[in-house]
Amino acid sequence: MEKKDILRKVDHTLLTQTATWDEIRKILDDGIKYEAASACIPAAYVKQAAEYVDGRLPICTVIGFPNGYSTTAVKVFETRDAIKNGAREIDMVINIGHLKDGKYQEIEDEIRQIHESCDGRILKVIIETCLLTEEEKIKICEIVTKAGAEYIKTSTGFSTAGATFADVKLMREHIGGKVKVKAAGGISSFEDAEEFIRLGADRLGTSRLVKIMENTDSGTGY
């Protein structure tokens, strides 16, 4: 694949706790320049970012991030607030403890409520694969499919590991036909990005591919 085609599948991401507006603005400018799929940024910057890009780049933000254990009511409020502020895509984190407790209906209901709150915008469900068993990964693929979300996403990038080829392959095999896959966290080269796409990823969450293009990649980061 050509690099420009890979970059069009990238959610160009900056979610560090120390992110400043100048750094966010750089993410937005680069996202526009390379025609990224979106810019994924903290919720506090969504309104300012949406006004800044003025429709030139979809704004994505994260809900229940990074741990996923906020109540459903809080996640729904976060989602509605983000949409009101101009977010066009939402990446939510599931309650991982609920998955391990077998509270499958609670997880499905939460995803449904957040999806309804998206009001037609794209919802991506982060499952944090590095914390799950293979059985749990398969089960959450089924739940996300039933709940009607547009995407299932591997990782926050803030836990013990990010996306792996094996996880993307497994997810692709067990999600429903309408659900897409986002690989995120630790994607550090165009070669790896292309392999994730070959295995079935429709989106890539990373900041480093654009940094490679800009010759600013430090060898670390999301």
**Which residue of the set 11, 30, 91, 192 is catalytic?**
91
SS3 string, 38-103, reads EEEECHHHHHHHHHHHCCCCCEEEEECCCCCCCCHHHHHHHHHHHHHCCCCEEEEECCHHHHHCCC
Contacts of 179 (CB under 8 A, 6+ apart): 141, 144, 145, 149, 150, 151, 152
d(CA 179, CA 47): 28
Residue 139 bears catalytic tag: no
How far apart (Å, rounded) are the C-alpha atoms in residues 163 and 128?
Answer: 9
Tokens of 100: 């391990």
Q: Are 48 and 21 in contact (CB under 8 A)?
A: yes
Q: How many CB atoms lie within 10 A of CB 203?
A: 26
Q: Is 153 a catalytic site residue?
A: yes
In the residue annotation, 180 being an active-site residue is answered as no
Q: Residue 83, CB half-sphere, CA atoms under 13 Å: how many? A: 18
Residue 88 in tokens: 């066009």
Catalytic choice (139, 153, 167, 180): 153
User: Which residues are known catalytic residues?
Assistant: 91, 153, 182
